[in-house]
Amino acid sequence: MPYVNVKVAGNLSDEQRRDIISEITKTLEKVAGKPPSSTYVQIDEIPRNQWGVGGKPLSDK
């Protein structure tokens, strides 16, 4: 049973969430032979001020 946890900075639309879940599930089926019915995808949307890169919060960009 594959479990994939995706963390993204900021918010996604419902359509974006659906597309991410669909594409990750298809990739696991194609590459690893995992059935879609056993693949779990969790998306965590993290506020940009809780992410940092290059020594600065993403919210500063």
As a whole-number percent, the residues of the chain with pLDDT over 90 amount to 93
pLDDT digits (tens, 9 = 90+) for 18-42: 999 999 999 999 999 999 999 999 9
Q: Considering 2, 36, 47, 57, which one is annotated as catalytic?
A: 2
- Is this prediction's pTM over 0.85? yes
Residue 57 known to be catalytic:
no
Q: Does domain 3-52 have CATH number 3.30.429.10?
A: yes
pLDDT for the residue 61: 72
Distance, in Å, from the CA atom of 55 to the CA atom of 42, rounded to the nearest integer, reads 28
Q: How confident is the model at residue 56 (pLDDT cuts 50, 70, 90)?
A: very high
DSSP string over the chain: --EEEEEEES---HHHHHHHHHHHHHHHHHHH---GGG-EEEEEEE-GGG-EETTEEGGG-
Q: Following CA atoms 29, 35, 38, 42 in sequence, which dihedral angle do they give, to the nearest 10 degrees?
A: 20
